Amino acid sequence: MKLSGEALMEENDFGLLHSSRLQQYAEEVKKVVEMGAQVAIVIGGGNIFRGFPRIKEKIINRIEGDYMGMLATVINGIAFQSYLENVGICTCIQTAIKMDEIAEPFGIDRAIYHLEKGKVVIFVAGLGNPYFTTDTAAVLRAIEIKADILLKGTRVDGIYTTDPEKNKYAKKLKNISFDMAYQMGIKVMDQTAFILGNENDLPIIIFDINKKGNFKKVISGEKIGTMVSK
Ligand code: UDP
């Protein structure tokens, strides 16, 4: 699952992590783990990163800003790990930027080993490279660990024909092809992620993580959100 940083905060509360949200997501993950699903999570950093005005003003340049963003994902990952452990889930953090005291370095075999042991693996620091996003990291990690599906848990409940906040006739799409998502310039996930998903035939479901029980529903095969596939 890709859990975006902004799902961890309240509206416009940049820089903060919301305890009730972390708790809710931890409980959602627990339900799914109890069903026997293996869960790996790529966590975003937008909640911390996007609130920092010097980045918007371009006083901090792109590369440094991106490293700050990647470090923000580490903070979120550590926080979420604590909430998961608190509800009784065993976890492991793997990082794309080495920081031995905090997390294990990213490794495919070790990640799969942890998953098979029933641990939830939290991938932090994105891909470790500036100019990428955690959406792309999520697709790549999903391909690397041979995940069946990538779920993007976000604050919207899927892809619409147009912006539902601006157009009352906007319709939610249940299924959409990668080509279509690319042509429509869908913003809910970045385009590099869609291209990578398309090339490697990885279906992606975009769903509202804030609605209680949704994670379990998606894993159980209920048709919620929007599925993007070949
Ligand atoms: N980032 C990066 N390389 C990566 C992943 C993330 O440079 O591989 C930086 C980038 O600046 C990004 C920020 O970290 O904007 C936070 O990640 P993202 O925007 O994907 O978080 P989300 O929007 O999902 O909370």
Q: What is the pLDDT of residues 168-207, one digit of tens each?
A: 898 999 999 999 998 888 888 899 999 999 999 999 999 9
Does the annotation list 130 as a binding residue? Answer: yes
CATH class of 2-229: alpha beta
pLDDT (0 to 100) of residue 12: 64
pTM of the model: 0.94
pLDDT (0 to 100) of residue 16: 74
Ligand 1 mean position, distance from CA 230 (Å) = 25
Out of 6, 21, 73, give the residue to mutate to test ligand 1, the one with the largest number of ligand atoms within 8 Å of its CB. 73
pLDDT (0 to 100) of residue 68: 92
Cα-Cα end-to-end distance for the chain: 19
| Residue nearest to ligand 1 atom 3, measured at CA | 132
Does the annotation list 71 as a binding residue? Answer: no
Alpha-carbon span 164 to 200, nearest angstrom: 30
Ligand 1 mean position, distance from CA 8 (Å) = 14
* Residue 216: other Cβ atoms inside 10 A: 17
pLDDT (0 to 100) of residue 88: 98
Does the annotation list 45 as a binding residue? Answer: yes
Q: What is the pLDDT of residues 132-163, one digit of tens each?
A: 999 999 999 999 999 999 999 988 899 998 88
Question: Residues with beta carbon inside 6 Å of ligand 1?
Answer: 4-6, 44-46, 49, 65-66, 69-70, 72-73, 126-127, 129-130, 132-135, 137
Q: For residue 74, give the nearest of 110, 111, 106 by alpha carbon.
A: 106
Q: What is the pLDDT of residues 53-103, one digit of tens each?
A: 666 667 888 899 899 999 999 999 999 999 999 999 999 999 999 999 999
